Amino acid sequence: MRIHKYVIAASVLILYSNVICAQVVDSRKSYEDFKNQAKQAFYNFRKQANEQYAIFLENAWKQYNTFPAVPKPKDETIPPIIIPDEERNKPIGNNPIPIKDVVTPPTPAPQPKPIEPIKEKTQPNERTIQFVYCGTKCIVRINDEAKDVFSNLKCDNNHLSKVWASLSEKDLMNNTIRDCLALRIEKNLCDWAYLNLLHSFSKAVYGNTNEATMLTSYIFSQSGYKMRIGRNGQRIYLLYASEHGIYDIPYFKIEGNKYYPFECGEAQLEICDASFPQEKPLSLYIPQNQKIEYKASDLRTLVSKRYPDVLVQIQVNENLIDFYNTYPASEVNGNFMTKWAMYANTPLDRPVKAKLYPTLKDRIKGLSQLEAANILLNWVQTAFVYEYDDKVWGHDRAFFAEETLYYPYCDCEDRAILFTRLIRDLLGLKTILVFYPGHLASAVCFTDNVTGDYISLNGKQYVITDPTYIGAPVGMTMPDMDNTQAHVILLE
């Protein structure tokens, strides 16, 4: 019995990759045995799960009130400091510095997947819906019969239950779900982008209506995500579970899990609190480059003051900037410092790399690690204009690296995020973020012998590099930083 269970689990993983990714089928007999066994084991499993869920939609509703939104942490902001010329050229000693603790963000989990492979199904009267998400043209099929099932949606238990049951009874949505999942894979979409893509598709079909919300909810659920349906009067809403605590959005707590309303400002909802098998919460990590159609921004010139030959003319993808504008500020496990790792670990967009990195690589070619790091550090220190988030945005806002290259102003956290990305990509060295109350700096683990203020971690030395201590070289800590209150944030 145990062996049978493991064979089935392995078969599901193989089938999911094969069916959704459209990879070449292995013709070996052992693989075919696995595939056939999985088909037999999961025959009607998804249908049975949906039938059960339809029953819950008819009965399992309960009134819930929102919990207050968790506000973004507000911290005293330390202004940038320009190092005097006489201090900049002083010899730098090797000085160990203490820290308060180390923050280790968890490793991102694989994206959710359907509870069984979604098979291609020949559908009569099928049409394609063309829509645009973040400037990217998308095409998804939908069956006319399925489209009709959603039409004239009523919010009563009986009708919502019948809609869900009708969709699964004939596998009417198979090709639609497959197309959406294929877009997620083809475009390398993170979970947040995938949810918003489904919403864009549903609005293209039904407009901003209950039908669109129900369509989004159904596809999101069948894709493996943990969601709940809520209603208030004659309006229904999608609630999504998140691995991360999201700031500034009131949430509903259901069986110990936080559910955030998607485009809903209601403080009280009647919610169907039934679960779907193997459902997983949405993640806000962005582990890979998202293939969003490129729309070039205006050309921007960024030049180092100390090294004027380090001059970069850069453009970024405005469609990606539009996506980042929808991205919610969040944290992991209740620790606000983890948000910076999420931004810093996001890979730089490929078109930006193609424009930015050749110039920087040419300038640091043949230099020592210390010389190269000092050039990159001064470029980040002096090519960008510092300004407080409260003044520019009215609230704290961390930037992804592309946003720092795009917007006219940035602060200490944005500089540290960009600098650690450059050091990892261009020099291949490990980096960390260093948080002092009111300030974010960074440190680099050189493999050459580099002196300066350093932090010891796991037998390695990370030398302080502060992109907001203007003009300061590698190894110098900004004055008045209290290392006894400093936290290290580990990066990938």
| Domain range 81-108+289-490, its CATH number among 3.30.420, 3.10.28, 3.30.70, 3.10.620 | 3.10.620
* DSSP, res 242: B
% of the chain residues with pLDDT over 70: 91
Single-letter residue type at 219: I
What average pLDDT does range 107-135 have in this prediction?
Answer: 92
User: How do residues 393-414 score in pLDDT, each as one tens digit?
Assistant: 888 899 999 999 999 999 999 9
The owner of tokens 């407080």 is 388
Single-letter residue type at 321: I
Q: Which residues of 357-382 are buried (b: 16+ CB within 10 A; e: fewer)?
A: eeebeebbeeeebbebbbbbbbbbbb
User: How do residues 190-223 score in pLDDT, each as one tens digit?
Assistant: 999 999 999 999 999 999 999 999 999 999 999 9
Q: Is the pLDDT of residue 30 over 50?
A: no
Average pLDDT, the chain: 90
Q: Which of 104, 55, 24 is nearest to 488 (CA)?
A: 104
Q: Which of 176, 158, 189, 169 is nearest to 120 (CA)?
A: 176
Q: What is the pLDDT of residue 16?
A: 38
Q: Which of 340, 329, 284, 282 is nearest to 104 (CA)?
A: 340
Higher pLDDT, 36 or 46: 46
Instruction: Give kind and range of the element (H or E) at residue 147.
Output: helix 144-150
What average pLDDT does range 173-178 have in this prediction?
Answer: 94
Q: What is the pLDDT of residue 29?
A: 52
What average pLDDT does range 4-22 have in this prediction?
Answer: 38
Confidence of residue 306 (pLDDT cuts 50, 70, 90): very high
Q: Is the pLDDT of residue 242 over 70?
A: yes
Look up the pTM and report it.
Answer: 0.89
How many helices (H) and strands (E) are present in the chain, helices listed first?
16, 23
Higher pLDDT, 32 or 273: 273
HSE-CB for 419 with a 13 A CA cutoff: 36
Instruction: Give kind and range of the element (H or E) at residue 457.
Output: strand 453-457
User: How do residues 130-165 score in pLDDT, each as one tens digit?
Assistant: 999 999 999 999 999 988 998 889 999 999 999 999
Q: What is the pLDDT of residue 114?
A: 94
Cα of first residue to Cα of last residue in the chain, in angstroms, is 40
Q: Is the pLDDT of residue 378 over 90?
A: yes
Lookup: tokens for 264 = 């809903």
Q: Which of 218, 211, 12 is nearest to 110 (CA)?
A: 12
Asked if 53 and 276 touch (Cβ cutoff 8 Å), the reply is yes
Single-letter residue type at 322: D
Asked if 442 and 432 touch (Cβ cutoff 8 Å), the reply is yes
Q: Is the pLDDT of residue 34 over 50?
A: no
Q: Where are the domains of the chain?
A: 2-43, 50-67+110-272, 81-108+289-490
Determine the Cα–Cα distance for residues 415 and 73; give it in Å rounded to an integer: 19
Angle made by CA atoms 109, 111, 114, in degrees to the nearest 5:
130
Single-letter residue type at 287: P
* Dihedral in degrees, nearest 10, Cα atoms 72, 76, 78, 79: 80
Handedness of CA 444, 445, 449, 454 (dihedral sign): positive
Q: What is the pLDDT of residue 158?
A: 93
Beta pairing class for 469-470 and 81-82? parallel
Q: Which residues of 390-422 are buried (b: 16+ CB within 10 A; e: fewer)?
A: eeeeeebbbbbbbbbbbbebbbbbbbbbbbbbb
* DSSP, res 92: -
